[in-house]
Chains A and B, each alone.
Chain A
Amino acid sequence: MTRRTRNWLLLAPAGTWFLVMLIIPLTVVFIFSFGERAPAGGVVPAFTFEQYANLPARWAAFKNTMTLAPIGTLSALLIAYPLAYYLAVKSSPKWKTILLVLVIVPFWTSILIRSYAWIFLLGGRGIPALLELVGIEGVRLINTPFAVLVGIIYGYLPLMVFPIYVSLDKLDKRLLEASSDLGAKPWRTFLQITLPLSIPGIATGCMLVFILLMGEYLIPALLGGGKVFFVGNALVDLFLQSRNWAYGSAVAVTLVVVMLITVTVYMRLINRLGASREDVSIM
């Protein structure tokens, strides 16, 4: 058996699987998005942009996603950065690994159960009840944008901490010493050395979290109580309740396209940021 045939045989199962379970289904979604709704709930083959023209009917879902996803990503970044900094720069080597594992572990456990925990905490007998004990009454937390935001931060914080930690950990600590030896104040060292050198980690973390948030369904469904809904919630409604496959496909295609555009623009910006800094450092 030649090397070539061997490689082909090794790749065949995975290749076939990707073709049947990824490429064909995604193509069907793309084709259906130009179709018309059949009375029974399926799709009548057609070539029309009607579904796309109807997209404004689900504008609220897109608007919520495109506001809460960036806000959630930024909040997670603001909370994650100091922790990643602490882990990479300040914590003792003995504790480092275990502390890092403790951050990542929640990400790999059920997001369903973890979001459920917040229904419990934010619900009427949770934190609002505790607040009543100290005299603050009538606070409503569950089923608000705030609840969804808390769920998002809670769910995706680990994913943000990890890449930032990696970039801060790689950072040559001698640079920090050199900076302070040359008389720079700590905050100046941070702004001019630590922060710029951790931009790749920040960029990766933000992109990972943002991509996952764009397709989020569970957190708004559980903590938003039908008032704060994402595109994911609209998709579940369109495919599983009203069975409008053609329109649902158009919404799904739009979601993926918006995601790709955002990520591409974002990568360009980050690259440009990196490039312009290199120019400066050459000078």
Chain B
Amino acid sequence: MRLYAVCVYLFLYIPIGVIALFSFNAGRHASQLQGFSTKWYGKALSNPFVMDALETSLIVAFTSALCASVFGTMAAVALQGIKGPIRAAFDLLIYVAVMIPGIVIGIATLIGLVTVFDQLNPLIAAIWPNGFTPPKLRMGMGSLIAAHTMFLMALVVIIVRARLAGMDRALTEASSDLYATPMATFRQVTLPIISPAILAGFLLSFTFSFDDFIIAFFVAGSETTLPIYVFSSIRRGVTPEINAIGTMVLVVSLLMLITAQLLLQRGGKKQNDSR
């Protein structure tokens, strides 16, 4: 039994390990070990295409994770105190957002937005003052952030709601019995309890957005995110540079994940202690 478990862990981690190992390979060829070197990291980090893609990915991941955390938390808090059709509608929306395959979300966003933009662009041009070039709505970083935020909002609502559901009702009741305004109750009681969940939601959202390929593939327009760059380089052939980029991407996600995990655990402990 233990041997079996060891085998499965090897299966899970050998491929990642091999990528990391070969990223330090000095040789030109991607699959022959020829001594230790960090030159591929240097090469990747001085490649303007990689750095551009990395910048786009970081901006998109940060912005959409931030929007998703704020709006998702707001929705989760409101849904806590609501019953009836509105709650059912939101439950359905969240279910649909999570259930529909990412590829269909990408496609729908692409053709939905392009169709809406085609209608809006002449309108904007018509009302724009003469002599100025009117702005043209098109697919790009904005549409990608909007699409990621939509999906990640659903994720944040699910995470924050779980924490709210586990929260002791008596705490908020006590607060309002002591004449705290709803805002004060939220700031001083609810927020401290759910903040680890919000932060964990933010980190998971960031990781998801940073790693997402399929939605970005459809929605990013002429922008290139890091996963899109990696995908098109893989298509052209396996190089040590991709190993280096891949290793860095894995390390970034790992750091985010460990932080999120620690936050969720510590938050859970604190809550139990307070009881």
Contacts and interface: CB of A to CB of B under 8 A. Distances in A.
Note whether A and B form a binding pair: yes
Contacts of B77: 10
Contact of A22 (B15, B86, B97): B97
B149 to A, nearest CB: 6
Contacts, number: 220
B19 A102 contact: no
B115 interface: yes
Contacts of A86: 1-2, 4-5
Contacts of B146: 17, 20-21
Interface string A232-273: 100110011000010011001001100100000000000000
Interface stretch (B6-14, B45-53, B266-274): B6-14
Nearest to B78: A10
Interface in B225-241: 227, 230-231, 234, 238
Q: Which of A25, A82, A222 has the most CB of B within 10 A?
A: A25
Nearest to A108: B257
Given A119-B238, A125-B31, A17 B150 contact: yes
B153 A18 contact: yes
B242 interface: yes
Contact of B111 (A13, A99, A245, A256): A245
B175 interface: no
B81 A7 contact: yes
A119 B22 CA distance: 13
A66 interface: no
B-side binding surface: helix, strand, loop or mixed?
Answer: helix
Nearest to B247: A113
A26 B112 CA distance: 8
A14 B204 contact: no
Interface stretch (B130-138, B166-174, B190-198, B248-256): B248-256
Contacts of B230: 112-113, 116
Given A86-B1, A154-B11, A215-B103, A120 B75 contact: no
Contacts of A105: 254, 257
B56 interface: no
Interface stretch (B36-44, B120-128, B213-221): B213-221
Given A3-B81, A24-B116, A28-B112, A90 B1 contact: yes
A21 to B, nearest CB: 4
Given A110-B249, A116-B246, A117-B16, A18 B107 contact: no
Contacts of B90: 11, 14-15
A125 B103 contact: no
Contacts of A118: 15
Q: Which of B8, B14, B108, B243 has the most CB of A within 10 A?
A: B108
A24 B102 contact: no
A241 B101 CA distance: 20
Interface string A97-117: 001011101101111111011
A82 B2 CA distance: 10
A29 interface: yes
Nearest to A103: B12
How many A residues are at the interface, by size bracket?
35 or more
A20 B108 CA distance: 11
A62 interface: no
Contacts of A228: none
B19 A255 contact: no
Contacts of B227: 110, 112
Nearest to B210: A110
Contacts of A79: 8
A278 B273 CA distance: 38
A83 interface: yes
A10 B82 CA distance: 12
A168 B153 CA distance: 31
Contacts of B78: 6-8, 10-11
A11 B79 CA distance: 8
Given A11-B79, A14-B71, A120 B107 contact: no
Contacts of B97: 18, 22
Interface in A114-171: 114, 116-121, 123, 125-126, 154, 157-158
B18 A121 contact: yes
Contacts of A14: 71-72, 74-75, 90, 153, 157
9 contacts: A13-B75, A20-B146, A22-B96, A105-B257, A109-B257, A112-B213, A117-B16, A245-B111, A255-B101
Interface of B: 1-2, 4-5, 8-9, 11-16, 18-19, 22, 30-32, 70-72, 74-75, 77-79, 81-82, 86, 90, 93, 96-97, 99-105, 107-113, 115-116, 146-147, 149-150, 153, 157, 182, 204, 207-208, 211, 213-214, 217-218, 227, 230-231, 234, 238, 242-243, 246, 249-250, 253-254, 257, 261
Interface of A: 3, 6-8, 10-11, 13-15, 17-18, 20-29, 32, 43, 79, 82-83, 85-87, 90-91, 99, 101-103, 105-106, 108-114, 116-121, 123, 125-126, 154, 157-158, 211-212, 214-215, 217-218, 222, 232, 235-236, 239-240, 245, 248-249, 252, 255-256, 259
- Nearest first, the 5 A-B pairs at minimum CB distance are A215-B101, A25-B112, A117-B15, A25-B108, A10-B78
